[in-house]
Amino acid sequence: MQMPTASHERSLDSGAVKSRPVPDHVPPEMVRDFNLFTSPGMLPTANGDPHAAVACVHAGPPIFYSTSNTRDGRGTWVITRASDQRRVLQDTETFSSHRSIFASVLGESWPMIPLELDPPFHGVFRSLLNPLLSPKRVMALEPAVRERAIKLIDRIAASGTSCDIMKDFAVPFAVNIFLRFIGLSDNGLETFVGWARDLLHGDKEQRPPAARTIVAFIDELATERRKEPVDDFMTFIVKAKVEGRLLSDEEVRGIGVLVFVAGLDTVSAAICFDLAHLARNPKDQELLRSEPDRIAV
């Protein structure tokens, strides 16, 4: 979401907050020293608990201004209460979603679709994509998903008493299923995960080449599927129509990049956060073992 920014900026010097440019319209008392990427607990090297690190904002005001809260060091407003977040997300007239987060790494401004579109186009593209992600379609994957999980767990069990859960389970489990879902070969798994790692967790030297590589890959895949259609996600996108017309190259890219990046890091990270919680909280492990119905399916 974007907030209005003033063209003139001033510096703020106050005890806890380092001197950084603050837009003129931001009252000094609303500035807090919080950064989503570098606050204690958020750094991978700290082996911390990022959820707890973020949860600390609940103890503070409902809204504050962080002077450096993006990877490239820009300031943002931080809204800490779910009810206010919902109000902001629903007020698309005031708060646009057109941020071009990915494209801006390349100095460009096309949106990832549908994420960075505002109504009415957000709804138009969601209607196009919703059938692909319907519960029925996802449930159809269940036998293959279970088989993959069992195979990986059996392999871990056979190899000894411990494992690297990210490397030995979460990535080969989640990314394999995701690649199968969008119709890409598992052979590229390591390469694709490496691109996503550089893009999402790399430094400012690593991000632009990773973004360029992903865009080139998606553009090339779209060209291939236009020439030789198969039964997969990208073929669906290049053949799809909105409002009676085929999608533009930029729209195909905007969808392809979002969906590609969305599945390479998110689910494996979520699995590991869940398992880290259980490892740190043996009582919750016991609860799930004694009451397995609590595990939602």
Give me the least distance between CB of 208 and ligand HEM, in Å please: 21
Quote the least distance from Cβ 29 to ligand HEM, whole Å: 28
Stretch near ligand HEM under the rule CB under 6 A, chosen from 29-37, 150-158, 162-170, 258-266: 258-266
3-state SS, residue 21:
strand
Assess contact for 259 and 266: CB atoms under 8 A. no
CB of 255 to ligand HEM, least distance (A): 8
| Residue choice 22, 210, 259, 272 for contact with ligand HEM (CB under 6 A) | 259
Cα angle 245-247-249, degrees, rounded to a multiple of 5 = 140
| CB of 22 or CB of 103, closer to ligand HEM | 103
SS3 content of the chain, % helix, strand, coil (to 5): 60, 5, 35
CB nearer ligand HEM, residue 2 or residue 38: 2
Per-residue CA distances from 45 to 56, 111, 137, 276 (Å): 20, 32, 39, 16
Q: How far is CA 190 from CA 178, 187, 194, 213, in A?
A: 13, 8, 6, 14
- Residue span 120-139 as binding mask against ligand HEM, x where in contact by CB under 6 A, dash where not: ------x-------------
Beta bridge partners of 114: none
Between residues 213 and 266, which has the closer beta carbon with respect to ligand HEM? 266
**Which parts of 157-196 interact with ligand HEM (CB under 6 A)?**
178
**Cα distance between residue 55 and residue 80, in whole Å:** 9
Q: Does 262 help bind ligand HEM (rule: CB under 6 A)?
A: yes
Residue 164 is encoded by which pair of tokens? 């690297």
Binding mask 87-126 for ligand HEM (x = CB under 6 A): ---------------------------xx----------x
Site membership for ligand HEM, residue 199 (CB under 6 A): no
Q: Which residues lie near ligand HEM (CB under 6 A)?
A: 114-115, 126, 178, 258-259, 262-263, 266-267, 270
